[in-house]
Amino acid sequence: DPVYLNGRFLPLAAAGISPLDRGFLYGDGVYELIPVYSRRPFRLDEHLTRLQATLAGIKLTNPLDLAGWKAVVEQLIVTAPWDDQSIYLQVTRGADNKRDHPFPPPTVPPTVFAFASPLVTTPAEVRATGVAAITVTDQRWARCDLKVISLLANILARQQAVEANCAEALLIRDGYLKEGAASNIFVVKGGVLLAPPKTQLMLPGITYDVVIELAKSGGQPLEIREISENELRGADEVWMTSSTKEILAITTLDGQPVGNGPNAGRPGPLGEQMWQWYQDFKNTVM
């Protein structure tokens, strides 16, 4: 299947970039990941708006306009063999002829790369049990609102989770839950849905926005505010959300069951409800 590189569609094996590319040397670039259902991109405008915000945040000119990006995404979707896909977009600050920290001269073009892969969804049996997570100290930088390709702290946290046989690492900074290593986190306590606020210390998730919209339109009591580590540990339900995981219950945290009573360690009713609302929403807009 062809990939997109710098204005051309070509086979992956023929797509080459310079070892001096600043994405390779410094992680100096940005990315997006867009889910595609039945060959239709989900929330494409929102993803492209976040891409623009991240590019502005690292002072990199958007190489394509909205129509240009949509054409690339559409071309990848129609040529890929799968109905459900994930489209990855990446822009780096390009390759100069030397290694030097400051921005290259404006004559150096950015490197633009995009490709489609099959969308890997969560099997029903995993959804039925939920997944395990650990908590770790958030060691990322202070602009976690930007979707940049330098993901080393996220990768180290996620690997720690994998080595503990867990699906996700929840990032705690100064005693407060920010998000997961590759997801946003919601908490339910006493029938109220709690969501950490959008600050520079959290990625503004596209799925997060959909969940909040669905909670509001469904009359679900909702509080958008900081969640302490203690509140997290005392939660009735904990969910992770992302473009690929959708809404997935976290049922074990640091080896302890999430929740109390007969439902402890099992996915809770509000998470089930939200997952259903999300499916219905997908089907109506798709």
Q: Show which residues are catalytic.
A: 147
Stretch 24-53: interaction string toward ligand PDD, x if CB under 6 A: ---------x--------------------
Closest distance of CB 184 from ligand PDD, Å = 5
Q: Is 184 in the site for ligand PDD (CB under 6 A)?
A: yes
Q: Is 250 in the site for ligand PDD (CB under 6 A)?
A: no
The one segment of 18-26, 116-124, 127-135, 182-190 that binds ligand PDD by CB under 6 A:
182-190
Q: In the numeric block, which tokens belong to residue 217? A: 């339109």
Closest distance of CB 261 from ligand PDD, Å = 30
| Other residues' Cβ atoms within 10 Å of the Cβ of residue 24 | 16
**Residue 63 class from Cβ within 10 Å (0-12 exposed, 13-18 middle, 19+ buried)?**
middle
Q: Among 133, 148, 182, 194, which residue interacts with ligand PDD (rule: CB under 6 A)?
A: 182
Stretch 191-210: interaction string toward ligand PDD, x if CB under 6 A: ------------x-xxxx--
Q: Is 242 in the site for ligand PDD (CB under 6 A)?
A: yes
Closer Cβ to ligand PDD, 21 or 168, answer by number: 168
Cα 93 to Cα 58: distance, rounded to the nearest angstrom:
10
Q: Which amino acid is at 261?
A: G
Q: How far is CA 90 from CA 120, 138, 180, 191, in A?
A: 20, 24, 21, 39
Closest distance of CB 97 from ligand PDD, Å = 31
Instruction: Give the end-to-end CA distance of the chain in Å, rounded to a whole number.
Output: 24
Closest distance of CB 3 from ligand PDD, Å = 17
Closer Cβ to ligand PDD, 69 or 95, answer by number: 69
Ramachandran category for residue 167: left, alpha or beta (phi over 0 → left; psi -120 to 50 → alpha): alpha
Q: Among 244, 263, 265, 282, which residue interacts with ligand PDD (rule: CB under 6 A)?
A: 244
Closer Cβ to ligand PDD, 95 or 169, answer by number: 169
Q: Which residues contact 221 (CB under 8 A, 6 or more apart)?
A: 191, 192, 193
Closest distance of CB 204 from ligand PDD, Å = 8
Closest distance of CB 164 from ligand PDD, Å = 19
Which of 261, 237, 251, 135 minimizes the C-alpha distance to 189? 237
Report the site for ligand PDD in 115-174 (rule: CB under 6 A).
154
Cα 108 to Cα 97: distance, rounded to the nearest angstrom:
9
Q: How far is CA 31 from CA 143, 157, 253, in A?
A: 15, 19, 29
Closer Cβ to ligand PDD, 110 or 205, answer by number: 205
Please say whether the beta carbons of 150 and 56 come within 8 A.
Answer: no
Cα 226 to Cα 52: distance, rounded to the nearest angstrom:
27
Count residues contacting ligand PDD (CB under 6 A)?
15
Q: Which positions touch ligand PDD (CB under 6 A)?
A: 33, 154, 179, 182-184, 203, 205-208, 241-244
